[in-house]
């Protein structure tokens, strides 16, 4: 049984196609682990009956865990919120349909920060998820359940969403691979929205090859999402083993103050590995990157304040009856939303208010444009920008709950790429005090294949061993 669980998803898919393993056995092995999960990574686990799938399809019979906020027909899709408790959508998200259409089987829905707002998965109405490396610590967030499930080996792989680091940061804190593709590469249809102009789905996997395989199935233009785009070519399985001729820029603004020494040490070791593989590594500037977090915390809450207006008790989800319409609205939202969601709705509502719009939303949009321009300038000299994914390793449960700003700072290195809409991957690159650290590699829009190739070469050379977390 343990041999089954040690297979990567790509290996398992191959073995199923060749008839070497029984998909039902793989299903049962993972399902049992998911049911027995003690990390609170899941908000729903599928029944014992293995789902139907087409054996000739690319992901044939490999189970996948899906972040709670993806709409799944007839299956609870609560986005980590009490306001959507027991909500079962009548339709499935495009990303989920593409996975199941490619033969993947839906193993479970994973825990998350409420409406993807958070960096620790502690802001879930269904309790925090624990980090499999140290259950006294957070797995990161907002897609903490998806990251913990893969790291703990209760799922071979999973999907999540990244608005300002919500895939990359938990991947880093859990010692696995997480990738946010170019904005628009994966359809947002059926993804319960946090901030529409930033939300982007992507894979969590044990290695880079799995990430390429899963992402390759997820991407594609979708007539139901006008902001979706077609990548210039299909996602290829990575094969590079060196970085010859690759130019890596290291932005001063994202690699200095605020990065934990252990994280910085691992980062520098990886830069050495990159050099050994043939890359040139040079410092560069992203002058506006330090303002990214401030702009992000205007734009994302502004969009969220509008996106979350629909949770009012009228049509679905929680309803608290009130004496009149207004009290039904306020009591439903008071009872249904957690503190962090309320905080962001307040910020966003304020930022869009008449008289404040230009000073906040308008100005933040200008910063966003400047950040994109910074990256565009960097691509003239570099193939990739490298930074630590998260400035810290996994922190203790509760450590930052009372200090929202400290929590926000965890996405300091991840947010600029989100604002620029560019692809970025996080790969595990070592341990600091026994906890995983992440290495972030980002490239220009549509450079997914080049990023995956470079990450593949680095991964082989780093030789990170994540099996410890899966034993637990």
Partner 1 sequence: MSLSDWEPVIGLEIHVQLKTNTKMFCGCELSFGEEPNTRTCPVCLGLPGSLPVVNARAIHYGLLMGEAFGCEIAPRSIFARKNYFYPDQAKNYQISQYDTPLCAGGHLGDVRLNRIHLEEDAAKLVHLGESGRIHGSEASIVDYNRGGTPLAEIVTEPDIHSAEEARDWLNLLRVTLRQLGVSDVNMEEGSLRADANVSVRRKGETQLNTKTELKNMNSFRFLMQGINAEVKRQVALREGGGRVQQETLHFDPTSGKLNTLRSKEEAHDYRYFPEPDLVPVVPTEEMRAEARAALPELPAARAERYAADWDIQQDTARLFAFEPDWGDFFEEAATAAAPLPARPVANLVMELRGRVDGDDPLATPVSAQAVAGLARLVEERKTTAGNARKVLEILAKEGGDPAAIIEREGLGAMADDGELAGIVAQVIAEHPDVVERIKGGNAKATGALIGPIMKATKGRADGGEVNRLIRQQLEL
Which residues of the shown chain bind partner 1 in the complex (CB under 8 A)?
Answer: 69-71, 77, 79, 84, 87, 89-91, 93, 188-193, 195-197, 223-227, 302-303, 305-306, 309-312, 314-316, 324-325, 329, 349, 352-354, 357, 361
Distance of alpha carbon 114 from alpha carbon 99, whole angstroms: 24
Candidate list 81, 124, 142, 442, residue with the active-site label: 142
Any bridge partners for residue 430, and if so which? 437
| Residue 142 among the catalytic residues | yes
* CB closer to partner 1 out of 361 and 439: 361
| β-pairing verdict for 247-251 and 384-388 | parallel
CB of 447 to partner 1, least distance (A): 22
In the complex with partner 1, the residue whose CB is nearer, 178 or 190, is: 190
Q: Toward partner 1, which CB reaches closer, 16 or 195?
A: 195
Residue number, 297 or 361, with CB nearest to partner 1: 361
Buried (b) or exposed (e) across 99-126, using 16+ Cβ within 10 A? bbebbbbbbbbbbbbbbbbbbbbbbbbb
Torsions phi, psi for 127 (to 5 deg): 90, 160
Least separation in angstroms between CB 325 and partner 1: 6
CB of 277 to partner 1, least distance (A): 39
Of 92, 146, 166, 305, which one is the catalytic site residue?
Answer: 166
Instruction: Between 185 and 240, name the residue whose CB sits nearer to partner 1.
Output: 185
Q: Shortest gap between Cβ of 257 and partner 1 (angstroms)? A: 32
CB of 196 to partner 1, least distance (A): 4
Which helix (H) or strand (E) element contains residue 415? helix 415-420
289 Cβ neighbours under 8 A, 6+ residues apart: 251, 253, 254, 371, 374, 416
Pairing of strands 158-162, 200-205: antiparallel
Cα–Cα distance, 158 to 43 (Å, whole number): 14
**Distance between CA atoms of residues 205 and 42, nearest Å:** 16
CA atoms of 447 and 266, how far apart (whole Å): 25
Distance CA 8, CA 384 (A): 27
Closer to partner 1 at the Cβ: 126 or 189? 189
Contact 27, 105 (CB under 8 A): yes
Please report how close the Cβ of residue 280 comes to partner 1 at its closest, in angstroms: 38
Q: Is 271 left (phi over 0), alpha (psi -120 to 50) or beta?
A: alpha
Which residue lies nearer to partner 1 by CB, 146 or 197?
A: 197
Known active-site residue 67: yes
Among 57, 67, 158, 447, which one carries the catalytic annotation? 67
Please state the closest distance from residue 56 (CB atom) to partner 1, in A. Answer: 30
Distances (CA, A) of 389 to 116, 300, 405, 416: 18, 20, 18, 11
Give start and end residues of each alpha helix (H) in 190-245: 208-218
CB 128 within 8 A of CB 40: yes
* 107 touches 45 (CB < 8 A): yes
Helix (H, G, I), strand (E, B) or coil at 427: strand
Q: Tell me how far, at minimum, the Cβ of 377 lies from partner 1, in Å.
A: 25
* CB atoms closer than 10 angstroms to residue 38: 11
Please say which residue, 312 or 411, places its beta carbon nearer to partner 1: 312
Of 236 and 314, the one with the shorter C-beta distance to partner 1 is: 314
**228 classed as catalytic:** no
Query: What's the number of CA atoms in the CB half-sphere (13 Å) around residue 93?
Result: 31
CB within 8 A of 16, min separation 6: which ones?
23, 26, 55, 60, 61, 62
Smallest separation, CB 190 to partner 1 (Å) = 4
Active site residues: 67, 142, 166
């Amino acid at each position: 049984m343990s041999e089954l669980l040690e297979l990567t998803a790509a290996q398992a898919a191959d073995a199923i196609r060749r008839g070497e393993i029984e998909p039902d056995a793989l299903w049962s092995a993972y399902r049992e682990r998911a049911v027995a999960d003690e990390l609170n990574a899941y908000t729903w686990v599928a029944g014992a009956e293995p789902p139907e799938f087409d054996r000739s399809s690319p992901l044939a019979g490999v189970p996948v865990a899906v972040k709670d906020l993806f709409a799944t027909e007839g299956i609870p899709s609560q986005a980590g919120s009490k306001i959507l408790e027991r909500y079962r959508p009548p339709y499935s998200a495009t990303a989920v349909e593409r996975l199941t259409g490619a033969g993947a089987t839906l193993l479970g829905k994973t825990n998350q920060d409420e409406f993807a707002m958070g960096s620790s998965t502690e802001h879930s109405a269904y309790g925090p998820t624990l980090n499999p490396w140290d259950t006294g610590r957070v797995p990161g967030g907002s897609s903490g359940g998806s990251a913990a499930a893969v790291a703990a080996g209760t799922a071979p792989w999973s999907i999540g969403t990244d608005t300002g680091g919500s895939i990359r940061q938990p991947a880093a804190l859990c010692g696995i691979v997480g990738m946010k593709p170019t904005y628009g590469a994966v359809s947002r249809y059926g993804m319960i929205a946090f901030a529409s102009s930033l939300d982007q789905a992507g894979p969590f996997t044990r290695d880079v090859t799995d990430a390429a395989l899963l992402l390759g199935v997820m991407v594609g233009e979708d007539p139901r999402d006008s902001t979706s785009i077609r990548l210039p070519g299909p996602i290829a399985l990575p094969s590079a083993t060196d970085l010859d001729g690759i130019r890596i820029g290291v932005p001063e603004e994202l690699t200095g103050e605020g990065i934990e020494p252990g994280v910085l040490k691992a980062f520098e070791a990886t830069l050495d590995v990159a050099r050994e593989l043939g890359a040139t590594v040079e410092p560069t500037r992203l002058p506006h990157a330090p303002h990214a977090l401030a702009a992000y915390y205007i734009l994302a809450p502004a969009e969220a304040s509008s996106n979350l207006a629909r949770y009012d008790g009228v049509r679905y989800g929680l309803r608290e009856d009130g004496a009149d319409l207004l009290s039904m609205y306020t009591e439903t939202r008071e009872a249904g939303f957690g503190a962090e969601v309320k905080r962001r709705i307040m910020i966003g509502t304020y930022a869009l208010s008449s008289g404040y719009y230009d000073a906040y939303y308008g100005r933040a949009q200008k910063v966003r444009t400047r950040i994109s321009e910074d990256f565009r300038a960097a691509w003239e000299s570099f193939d990739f920008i490298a930074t630590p994914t998260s400035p810290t390793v996994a922190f203790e449960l509760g450590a930052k709950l009372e200090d929202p700003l400290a929590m926000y700072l965890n996405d300091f290195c991840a947010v600029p790429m989100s604002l620029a809409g560019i692809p970025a991957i996080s790969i595990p690159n070592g341990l600091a005090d026994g906890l995983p650290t992440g290495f972030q590699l980002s490239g220009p829009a549509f450079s997914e294949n080049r990023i995956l190739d470079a990450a593949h070469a680095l991964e082989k050379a780093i030789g990170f061993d994540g099996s410890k977390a899966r034993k637990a």
